[in-house]
Amino acid sequence: MDKLKKFAVDYVTYVVKGSPVFYAWIAFLCLLILGLLYGTFLHATDGLRYTGLTDQVHDGLYLANFVFLVGVAAAAVTIVFPAYVYHHQALHKVAVLGEMLAIAAVVMCMLFIVSHMGRPDRLWHMLPIIGIYNIPHSMLAWDTLVLLGYLILNFVGGFYYLYKKYTGEPLNNKFYLPLIYVSIVWALSIHTVTAFLLNTLPARPMWHHSMMPIRFISTAFSAGPALIILIFLIVRTRTRLWIDNAAIDLLATIVTYCLGLALFLTLSEVVTSLYANTEHAHGLYYLMFGKHGFTDLVPWFWGSVAANIVAFVILLTPHWRKNYRLLALACVLAFSGIWVEKGMGLLVPGFIPTPIGEFTQYFPTTLEILVTLGNWAVGFFILTVLLKGAIGILLGDIRYVATTPEMATSASAGVVTAPESV
Amino acid sequence: MAAPGQVRRKHVTNKEKICNPEGGCTCAGQAPGAAAAENISSRRNFLKSTSMLSLNSLLGTAALMTMSDDAQANTAWAEWFQGNYRLMSDEEKARARARLERRYTREYGKAVTVDGTPPQEGVLMGYALNIKKCIGCRRCAKACVEENNTSRGKDQEIEWIRVLKMEKGEFSQEKMNQGYPEGLGIQVGGNAYSPAGVVMEGEHYYQPKAVPEKDSVYMPIACMQCEKPPCVKVCPVRTTYREADGPVVIDYNWCIGCRMCMSACPYWARRFNWSDPNLPKEAMNPVTHYLGNRPRMKGVVEKCTFCIQRTRKGRYPACVEACPVGARKFGNLLDPNSEVSRIIARKHVFRLKVEQNTFPKFFYFMD
Ligand code: SF4
Ligand code: SF4
């Protein structure tokens, strides 16, 4: 118990200390979080009236970010899987960073859901026993279940690993490895269920196809590792933790394959829907070319396609992929391309036209953007803290030093004898 | 590719519509910036009006109910902690309703009743609408707003009934040979892009000088009270459910506002309270039902309930009474002699979007 207390204290003291750049970054995030607080206050007092949402397009930026971030959370598996199943050495060393990312991403998901909900104060209605939990019928109930489970798995797995590193004790593999394997399968489940959330609604023909889960997973496994590569590159240059090229290269390969698959699936969807161009294709048509003079999403769609294709070409060329500046560019492009594709490109046109054929455009308001940035800021705040702590432990900067009386005397004896030995 | 007869307007939403006294709705086609600016100013007004309101209610409380602030807080607290209506015991239900009655009476300054009449044995409510008779006057929609205490005014206007106007479209002799291309390619007929009557793709913001307009048919829609309602299936907290006598209802105090049901409904029947509803005291209908027309709060979903507050007491829904041409029929589907049963037995009836397998209890028919 004492060890655990000490772990917490050491962890926190290490994490709060940092360079001016670190403080500046935290201050910047806090500024954005202030915006979130303001927005949340308005949502709580006046409802969602300051959003651009309407009865026609009633899910927007918040739900889109949720969907996207579930993918990012699931993408931790692209580190954990090669590390533990294929025993990839370079990734094995830093696998815990993936788990930290997963924790931050799931927390962001939950924040976005809270922003999205009309009555977050009634969330307790979803708790089993005191509330009603509509399982197995409601996909949202399933989604909550898998996301919470994933959060717990990663939290326990990640911090167990860090704690053992901290104390220098060996891992109990009987406990740890099953946890890892379960979390690998679980990662797939979170994004699959999130896809089911949308594609089980025949009232929204744009989503109602069986390709959705695999498309979600392929886009997630390109955007997620892209973000991880960027984080790794930053960690390599900003901290003393060196991440091997082998790790980055493997992730880059994963991004390449998955991005290729994602592009292929987009193409399949376009051909399938637009060949016959029935009324069910109106949403996609509106997204790609506009309809009835409404073209607001068209630049988003083509921008995202362009970003993804450029990223794919860079990644596909070994010579360019190995150039980490170009690789970083490709990752930024893939990440933002997929963010647009899943957000403005998938969620919003699902509501346009409405089931009765009405075209209403959706424009996020400033407040919505503020809240969105704020939620991301909380996520990055958590991510920064978690990564800093984890890196400190991996580097051995945070380490268990026993403070029992004998140890203390011997330590002080050590200090006393030190000058003599010099 | 814009087909004639499919007029679409930009930025028209239920949040921005302005109601005119005739009962129709004008679209306030605002630029997004203007809308934002207005939001800000309306927020100021809103703050002002809430402070006024609380002052009023404080004074009013002392005079009317002799209920202290503490008691008010207790009511809010008790309401927040109450369970799901469907699972409450009869006694708990009665207490919840009494609590609401007190609150509404205080808030609206008149004696409000919150009824809890349960479903009756042997009743299954059904609706039939004569699509040939409807003249598109939208009196039903207006009567519905007045009966059901829905939000009105320019900030947030909610209407459960929407009347779709569908123009006849043309399928003309002259265009017969105007298709493309000549020679190789897929031949497309000249009438290909002129839909002759469009189902479920109508215009519901129409502003006529007089109704019915030439060459138009009208199709009113609202919640279809599906026998197999997808909205019920997706609700994570089972706040929306089908009552034994047919209507799909919502416990407004239990809804978490996730809007899954809105995504699931194939008939665009559900509305969301983006803010606290704007319900003028003098226009508030004090005869309410817990699952029906009692005033809602911000952040919850609402929709048509077949006027449960009336129909469980043996009255017709407000829209049936308001229809000037008698296009709307309502009754008990289990009674073979009821008007709806006879219509279903004898007329040509159809339901909307049968491919969705929702099995609506709202039938359309023609003579
Ligand atoms: S019409 Fe829509 S809201 Fe009404 S019961 Fe059917 S699915 Fe539910
Ligand atoms: S918005 Fe309310 S009624 Fe609709 S699914 Fe969510 S909790 Fe259920």
Q: Does B33 touch chain A (CB under 8 A)?
A: no
Q: Residue ranges per domain, chain A? A: 2-403
Q: What confidence category does residue B68 fall into, taking pLDDT thresholds of 50, 70 and 90? A: low
Are the beta carbons of A356 and B268 separated by less than 8 Å? yes
User: What was the pLDDT predicted at B180?
Assistant: 80
Beta strand segments in chain B, E: 18-19, 25-26, 113-115, 125-130, 162-167, 216-221, 240-242, 248-250, 271-272, 287-289, 301-302, 328-332, 348-350, 362-366
Best residue among B232, B241, B259 to mutate for probing ligand 2, ranked by most atoms within 8 Å of CB: B259
Q: What is the per-residue pLDDT across A370-386, written as a single tens digit (0 to 9) for each?
A: 999 999 999 999 999 99
Q: Could you report the per-residue pLDDT of A103-125, keeping only the tens digit for each?
A: 999 999 999 999 999 999 999 99
Residues 120-139 of B with CB under 8 A from A: none
Chain B: residue nearest A350 by CA?
A: B263
Confidence of residue A404 (pLDDT cuts 50, 70, 90): low
B11-41 per-position pLDDT tens digit:
344 444 333 333 333 333 333 333 333 333 3
Q: Which residues on A lie below 8 Å from B300 (Cβ)?
A: 118-119
| pLDDT tens-digit series, residues A262-307 | 999 999 999 999 999 998 999 999 999 999 889 999 999 999 999 9
- Identify the pLDDT of residue B199: 65
C-beta pairs of A271-277 under 8 Å, 24+ apart in sequence: A272/A209
Query: Which residue from B86, B233, B237, B270 has its CB within 8 A of the most atoms of ligand 2, so it is best to mutate?
Result: B237
Q: Which ligand is nearest to the CA of B250?
A: 2
Report yes or no: A60 and B20 within 8 Å, Cβ to Cβ: no
Distance B225 CA to ligand 1 centre (A): 5
Say which DSSP state A346 is in. I
Q: Which of A168-177, A236-245, B185-194 is predicted with the least confidence, judged by mean pLDDT? A: B185-194
> Does the beta carbon of B269 lie inside 6 Å of ligand 1?
yes
Q: Using one digit for the tens of pLDDT, what is the confidence trace for B204-228?
A: 999 888 988 888 889 999 999 999 9
Q: What is the pLDDT of residue A405?
A: 53
Q: Residues near A326 by Cβ (< 8 Å), separated by ≥ 6?
A: A314, A320
Of A176 and B200, the structure prediction assigns the larger pLDDT to A176
Angstrom distance (rounded) from CA A166 to CA A158: 12
Q: Which CATH class is domain A2-403?
A: mainly alpha
B14 touches chain A (CB under 8 A): yes
Q: What is the pLDDT of residue B57?
A: 42
- Chain B interface mutation, best of A45, A46, A348, highest count of B Cβ atoms under 10 Å: A46
SS3 B241: strand
- Please write down the HEC assignment for all residues of B201-220: CCECCCCCCCCCCCCEEEEE
> Which among B270, B228, B220 has a CA at the least distance from the CA of B246?
B228
Percentage of chain A lying above the pLDDT 70 cut: 95
Contacts of B218 in chain A (CB under 8 A): none
Q: pLDDT digit string (tens) for B337-353?
A: 999 999 999 999 999 99
Q: Which atom of ligand 2 is closest in space to residue B250's alpha carbon?
A: 3
Instruction: Find the mean pLDDT for residues A36-46.
Output: 95
Å from CA of B303 to ligand 1 middle: 9
Could you read off the pLDDT of B169-189 as tens digits, one per residue? 778 888 888 888 777 778 888
Which one-letter DSSP state was computed for residue A47? -
Percentage of residues in chain B having pLDDT higher than 70: 80
Distance of CA A37 to the CA centre of its chain: 21
Q: What percent of chain A has pLDDT over 90?
A: 87
pLDDT at A55 over 90: yes
| Contact call for residues A73 and A105 (beta carbons, < 8 A) | yes
- Ligand 1 atom 4 nearest Cα: B223
Asked if residues A92 and A386 have their Cβ atoms less than 8 Å apart, the reply is no
A116 to chain B: nearest residue by CA? B258
Q: Is B128 in the pocket of ligand 1 (CB under 6 A)?
A: no
**Residue B170: exposed, middle, or buried by beta-carbon count in 10 A (0-12, 13-18, 19+)?**
middle
Q: What per-residue confidence (pLDDT) applies to B2?
A: 34
Pick from B92, B98, B152: nearest CA to B285: B152
> Does the CB of B200 have a partner CB in chain A at under 8 Å?
yes
- Ligand 2 centroid–CA B234 distance in Å is 8
Cα separation, A199 vs A409, in Å, equals 66
Residue of minimum CA distance from atom 2 in ligand 2? B255
ipTM computed for the complex: 0.89
Q: What is the mean pLDDT of residues B71-95?
A: 88
pTM for this prediction = 0.88
Whether residue A344 has pLDDT greater than 90: no
pLDDT score of A402: 75
Cα(A335) to ligand 1 centroid in Å equals: 38
pLDDT score of B215 = 85
- In this predicted structure, the answer to whether residue B248 has a pLDDT above a threshold of 60 is yes
Residue whose entry in the numeric block shows the structure tokens 């359309």: B364
- Chain B nearest C-alpha distance from A184 (Å): 26
A218: left (phi over 0), alpha (psi -120 to 50) or beta: alpha
CB A210 within 8 A of CB A243: no
Chain A residue whose CA is closest to B43: A46
Alpha-carbon gap: A65 to the closest alpha carbon of chain B (Å): 15
What does the pLDDT look like over A294-340, one tens digit per residue?
999 999 999 999 999 999 999 999 999 999 999 999 999 999 999 99
Q: How far apart are CA A136 and CA A373, in angstroms?
A: 34
**3-class DSSP state for residue B224?**
coil
User: Does residue A344 contact residue A297 with C-beta atoms inside 8 Å?
Assistant: yes
Q: Is B267 helix (H, G, I), strand (E, B) or coil?
A: coil
- pLDDT higher than 90, residue A65: yes
Is the CB–ligand 2 distance for residue B264 below 6 Å? no
- The answer to whether the CB of B279 falls within 8 A of the CB of B145 is no
Which domains can be identified in chain B, with CATH numbers?
Answer: 2-81 (no CATH), 125-163+221-366 (3.30.70.20)
Q: Give the contacts of A143 (CB within 8 A, at least 6 positions apart).
A: A190, A193, A194, A196, A197
| pLDDT score recorded for residue B18 | 33
Confidence class for position B54, pLDDT limits 50, 70, 90:
very low
Q: Which residues of chain B make contact with A127, given a CB cutoff of 8 A?
A: none
* Residue B313 Cα to ligand 2 middle (Å): 27
The DSSP code sequence of B16-84 is T-EE-TTS-EE-----HHHHHHHHHHHHHHHHHHHHHHHHHHHHHHHHHT---HHHHHHHHHHHHH---
Which ligand is in closest contact with the Cα of A59? Answer: 2
Residue of B235, B262, B270 with the most ligand 1 atoms within 8 Å of its CB, for mutation? B270
As a whole number, mean pLDDT of residues A220-246 equals 94
Does residue A198 register a pLDDT over 60? yes
Say whether pLDDT at B244 is over 90: yes
How many CB atoms lie under 10 A from the CB of residue B211?
A: 17
Specify the 3-state DSSP secondary structure of B165: strand
Q: Contact, B358 vs B226, CB < 8 A?
A: yes
What is the C-alpha to C-alpha distance for residues B46 and A100, in angstroms, rounded to an integer? Answer: 43
Q: Work out the end-to-end distance of chain A between its first and last CA atoms, rounded to an integer number of angstroms.
A: 38
Is B230's C-beta closer than 6 angstroms to any atom of ligand 1? Answer: yes
> Which among B2, B36, B80 has CB closest to A365?
B36
